[in-house]
Chains A and B, each alone.
Chain A
Amino acid sequence: MSLATSEPPAPPPAGESPSPVRAVAIAVAVAIVLLAVAAFFAVRAQSDESADDGWGGELLRAPLAKPDFTLTDTEGQPYDFRASTDGFVTLLFFGYTSCPDVCPLHMGNIAAVLREVSGEVEEKVKVVFVTTDPARDTPAVLRDWLDRFDTTFVGLTGTAEEILAAERAAHVPEAQLEIQPADESYIVAHSSQVIAYSLDDQAHLVYPFGVRQSEWAGDLPRLVTSEWQS
């Protein structure tokens, strides 16, 4: 077989002006502009991420004490939050299982990271999810939902008054029901931050919506080793 077949060259149309050299110059110019734009965004993104001494979460000026409340876990047993989480880095989050965005993202991201970090770190981290929608989030519903992420996640519920008291103890805004006019269903407006209590039973960092898995992966080992102190 031959490697080529010949063909008569077709003459270029009249009125051509751009030469290959000019085309290369244009391509290089476009590439430079693209690189400049990319560099701008890269620098901007890096400066955003370098805030708070490299922590993915937000450092609190004044640490929050670990709250003292007792709710009901998904087995129907009383759960003393302070006592049951003693000796663990504890990630506390108030949300609800029907939440369309923030709650499943936080839980999913934390669960994904806990599968990636070392066993030592994983064993020292406890995740506690307190429902802000006790009417719909029965213990069974709560357990089913949390098991989609991680079977070790703790789910807590209680009466509306008990949950309100827990929110106040944890210094998070009170959840509010918002009725949807269309079908009279409701959503629950709630705090979107995960509070991270360190081994000293104080929260030095919170994790608002937008914290990424890579940031959790960087922070959890540091929280376990109490690196925030240095």
Chain B
Amino acid sequence: MSFWCQALKEPWSWQFRAYPGVWLAAGLLAFAYFRSVWRRHRRTGAPIDRRKALWFALGWAVLWLASDWPLATLGASYLASAHMVQYMLYTLVAAPLLVLGTPEWMARRVAERFRIYRTLRFLARPVVAAIAFNVVLLVTHTPIVVDNVRTTQLGGFALDLLWLASGVILWQPLISPLPELIHKSFPVRMVYLFLAAGVFAMIPGGFLTFSSFPLYRTYELAPRIQDFGALSDQQLAGAIMKIGNIPIVWTVMAVLFFRWATVERDGPPARKPLNSPRQTTAPGG
């Protein structure tokens, strides 16, 4: 048993592996969230936002799924494609769901407690967020980092945290619980998402897809699963990196577009769905 997932040198089996560190982290995250929500409800009588709680629970579940056996074991030891699925789940699914599930009062309290408001505000600038997200993407997928850091418990834990943090940063200009951090312009938000989460990933994804030989020692020398070759696995990982984001990116862009059109036609909604910023512009701008 190990605290966090690490590379294994033995053939893959479907025998369950326990990672107490993952359970502890998941338990602490859920406990902190729901305790905070419940205490506020008891103290102020404010209703619990069930929709946000549901978003959070979904994000928490995806985070756990991506961090625990079997996906984490496959990703740390055997398959570059599993590693990539983990990354996509962390950054494009779990992170936005957790952000959506975070109430504004909670985000302000965290920002104040840890004195990170200005840092958050800085990181939420689209250019900064795009650079930060893609630097993490590039660095954490270099063979040196994957082969030397990803394979250890501590390194795996650090990379998981880094992925989640980069995902949270990526989504701040779009769905931050702090409305003032959401970029005011719908077109900028759409272009930002397209470039930050859609375009730059094509570059490392292309390297993985079109390389003649496996780039990662870890996956190349891992015991094979069902004759799935190392190069095929790497090509699948590259394809996931390049096009796996399309459903999410384009769906969100479509939602943004239609909201933009709605705001332009009807004016700002009386009741804000999904953390959109307070919009006070009259129709027609």
Interface residues of A (CB under 8 A from B): 1-10, 12-20, 23-24, 26-27, 31, 34, 38, 41-42, 45, 100-101, 104-105, 108-109, 112-113, 116, 148, 209-210, 212-214, 217
Contact = CB atoms under 8 A, between A and B. Distances in A.
A3 B178 CA distance: 21
A45 B143 CA distance: 11
A3 B187 contact: yes
B11 interface: yes
Category for how many chain B residues contact A: 35 or more
The 4 closest A-B pairs by CB, nearest first: A2-B285, A100-B11, A5-B279, A13-B112
Contacts of B224: 104-105, 108
B23 interface: no
Contact of A108 (B230, B277, B280): B230
B185 A45 contact: no
Contact of A6 (B10, B132, B281): B281
Contacts of A41: 144-145, 148
Contacts of B148: 41
B115 A18 contact: yes
A55 to B, nearest CB: 17
A39 B151 CA distance: 18
Contacts of A19: 118
A38 B144 contact: yes
Interface of B: 10-11, 108, 111-112, 115-119, 121-123, 132, 135, 139, 142, 144-145, 148, 178-180, 184-188, 212-214, 217, 220-221, 223-224, 227, 229-231, 260-261, 263-264, 268, 277-281, 284-285
Nearest to A212: B220
A46 to B, nearest CB: 10
B122 A20 contact: yes
B116 A31 contact: no
A7 B144 contact: no
Contacts of B268: 5
B210 to A, nearest CB: 13
A138 to B, nearest CB: 20
Nearest to B108: A13
Nearest to B184: A4
A209 B222 CA distance: 11
Contact of B220 (A7, A116, A213, A217): A213
A108 B180 contact: no
A38 B224 CA distance: 28
A4 B263 CA distance: 10
Nearest to A39: B144
Contacts of A100: 10-11, 223
B129 to A, nearest CB: 12
A219 to B, nearest CB: 13
29 contacts: A1-B261, A2-B284, A3-B185, A3-B285, A4-B188, A4-B285, A5-B279, A5-B280, A7-B184, A10-B180, A12-B118, A15-B112, A16-B117, A16-B118, A17-B115, A17-B118, A18-B116, A19-B118, A20-B118, A23-B122, A23-B123, A27-B132, A100-B10, A104-B224, A105-B224, A116-B212, A148-B227, A213-B214, A213-B231
Given A7-B179, A10-B179, A148-B227, A2 B117 contact: no
A5 B184 contact: yes
B264 A212 contact: no
A221 B164 CA distance: 45
Contacts of B115: 15-18
Contact of B223 (A26, A34, A105): A105
